[in-house]
Structure 1
Amino acid sequence: MIRLSDIWPIAAPENYKVHFARWNGESQPLEVWARDRREWQGWQEYRPARDEFNRPSIFSLVQFYHEPDIWLFGGVFRVTQRLSDCYVVELADEGASFLGRLKLRSAYRERATRVNFENHYSALEVEEILREPYSGRAFPGFENIDLSFDELETLVRNNRPDWKAALSSVKGVYLISDSNTGKRYVGSAYSIDGIWGRWCNYAATGHGGNAELRQLVSDPTLEYCRKFFRFALLEHRPNLTSDEIVFQREGFWKRILLSRGEHGLNRN
């Protein structure tokens, strides 16, 4: 076992609050960190009624939700001002080489997410140091694709090469599920960029030009999509497959999944 203190001696942990950032009901902090560092800094700037970041520094940890009890180092932030409605923070150079790469193990499950660092520093175990900063989950294979919109955004914004290479190479039929209404949308992709090109369009707009989805996605921040949309690949075919076969398979899945009419989001 290697502990954090073995590779990163911190003389005064009592000068830090540790932020165990977890799902906030809308977004996974891991996806926020990977897609938009300014948005991630906003997670440190949020101030609740109590002055919880009442020390000079914040040691930020991001729940690595794909793996139990694993946290990704998200930076040390200096608190420069404590305003009535927010904190003003800046990312410090401290631990810069570990940023987005250092994975730590902690079984912390208490309700509070902002706690005294000295109570946890000595117990944090080093799980892994990634070769490069985290930019999204590794491609799991065509049969295992199950993505939240949140995660899809991360992969697209980072142009994750393993996902892009795999999904650009195939045509196919996909499923979008709305967990809020329980309805489903079945679509197909057959352009030169395959599934990847089609899903990039969804990541940018939320609706991909589909009429029923457009009615759900009226907020340009894509908040509804991040909260409720999930993407899955129903089947994939080589790029040389004729478009007609892809259309036929799309129709098959629409029938099977009842995605037309009152039970679904397909109009045809």
Structure 2
Amino acid sequence: MTIRLAEIWPIAAPATFKLHFARWNRINQPLEAWARSRSEWQKWQEHRPARDDFNRPLIFSLMQFYHEPDTWLFGGVFRVLGRHPDRYEVELAGEGAGFIGRLKLGSSYRNRSTRVNFENHHADLTVLEILREPYSGRAFPGFDEIDLGFEELETLVRNGRPDWKAALESVKGIYLITDTMTGLRYVGSAYGDNGIWSRWCSYAATGHGGSVELRKLAAEPSLAYIRQAFRFALLEHRPVGTADEVILRREAYWKQILLTRDQFGLNRN
């Protein structure tokens, strides 16, 4: 049975709101920005393009829950305090505070404009789920289903997602990093005491994890290119008690199979 947002949250004056459908801006996913930093998420409301899109007192903000089609996560109601030529001045309002980061709504909205009049959409927004806790990263999908953009990896590491941490600490393995802008690939391995988790935490912190070739791509302090281009996958996992020699041998195998030591890859040994 479909439940409409208006049934659980009647809003007396929808015409005082603009609705913000925040989605990927070709650099960042708003969902990861919110999970990473509330102040970073607020900047998505402060950004002012050429047009005065937020021309009403309030903003009802949604972020695309990009793992699931037609799904949006509520990111708060913001009050517009000032409109400057280059930015908006906003503050988080109290309305719907208990739903922030928890209320998942359904909408098939796909138009180009991301800032629209709220009253045109309020009646069509459906309630999909209310999370028990505010979103802090995607639930661990299993070792065979790992496919992470760098930005999502940052979120998981920064928030110390316990399901990911426990799973990846328990295994050694071989992983693949793909530069989606060039198609070049890098094969690496994790064979220390803390398994894959520790190794990937190093990437989240630096962007390159110590690799000479990846260090060149992570030269920008903001890691902008890395966030846009890198994806992580797990090629093979073994119990944490597996001998390091086995992991290194399998790493060499994957480098050979995927041709990552020549023009198709980023490995240099």
Normalised by the length of structure 1, the TM-score is 0.99
Which residue does 2:115 correspond to in 1? Answer: 114
Which residue does 1:97 correspond to in 2? Answer: 98
How many percent of aligned residue pairs carry the same amino acid? 71
229-238 or 27-36, larger mean C-alpha shift: 27-36
Letter in 2 for 1:178: D
Letter in 2 for 1:211: V
Letter in 2 for 1:75: G
Which residue does 2:239 correspond to in 1? Answer: 238
Letter in 2 for 1:121: H
Letter in 2 for 1:194: G
Which residue does 2:186 correspond to in 1? Answer: 185
> Cα offset for 1:9?
1.2
Letter in 1 for 2:209: G
> Cα offset for 1:66?
1.0
Letter in 1 for 2:74: F
Report SS of the residue matched to 1:18.
strand
CA distance in 1, matches of 2:69, 2:214: 34
> Cα offset for 1:261?
2.4
CA distance in 1, matches of 2:74, 2:17: 14
| CA displacement, residues 149-173 of structure 1 (integer Å, 9 cap, x when unaligned) | 0110111111000000000000000
Moved over 2 A (4+): none
Q: Does 1:56 align with 2:54?
A: no
CA distance in 1, matches of 2:252, 2:118: 56
Report SS of the residue matched to 1:175.
strand
Which residue does 1:165 correspond to in 2? Answer: 166
Q: Does 1:41 align with 2:30?
A: no
How many residues are treated as equivalent by the alignment?
268
Letter in 2 for 1:32: A
| CA displacement, residues 90-123 of structure 1 (integer Å, 9 cap, x when unaligned) | 1111101000000011111111100000111111
| CA displacement, residues 187-228 of structure 1 (integer Å, 9 cap, x when unaligned) | 000111100000000001000010000011111111011100
Letter in 2 for 1:161: P
Letter in 2 for 1:127: L
CA distance in 1, matches of 2:241, 2:48: 54
Which residue does 2:85 correspond to in 1? Answer: 84
CA distance in 1, matches of 2:106, 2:240: 42
Which residue does 2:204 correspond to in 1? Answer: 203
Which residue does 1:31 correspond to in 2? Answer: 32
Which residue does 1:7 correspond to in 2? Answer: 8
CA distance in 1, matches of 2:160, 2:65: 20
Report SS of the residue matched to 1:182.
coil
CA distance in 2, matches of 1:111, 1:177: 29
Letter in 1 for 2:33: V
Stretches of structure 1 that go unaligned for 5 or more consecutive residues are none
Letter in 2 for 1:95: G
Report SS of the residue matched to 2:204.
helix
> Cα offset for 1:16?
0.4
Which residue does 1:124 correspond to in 2? Answer: 125
Normalised by the length of structure 2, the TM-score is 0.98
| CA displacement, residues 53-80 of structure 1 (integer Å, 9 cap, x when unaligned) | 0000100001111111111000101111
CA distance in 1, matches of 2:147, 2:126: 30
CA distance in 1, matches of 2:38, 2:259: 40
Stretches of structure 2 that go unaligned for 5 or more consecutive residues are none
CA distance in 2, matches of 1:179, 1:2: 39
Which residue does 2:262 correspond to in 1? Answer: 261
Report SS of the residue matched to 1:191.
coil
Letter in 2 for 1:72: L
> Cα offset for 1:234?
0.3
> How large is the RMSD of aligned CA atoms in angstroms?
0.7
> Cα offset for 1:32?
0.9
CA distance in 1, matches of 2:94, 2:258: 51
CA distance in 2, matches of 1:46, 1:15: 19
| CA displacement, residues 18-44 of structure 1 (integer Å, 9 cap, x when unaligned) | 000111111111111111111111110
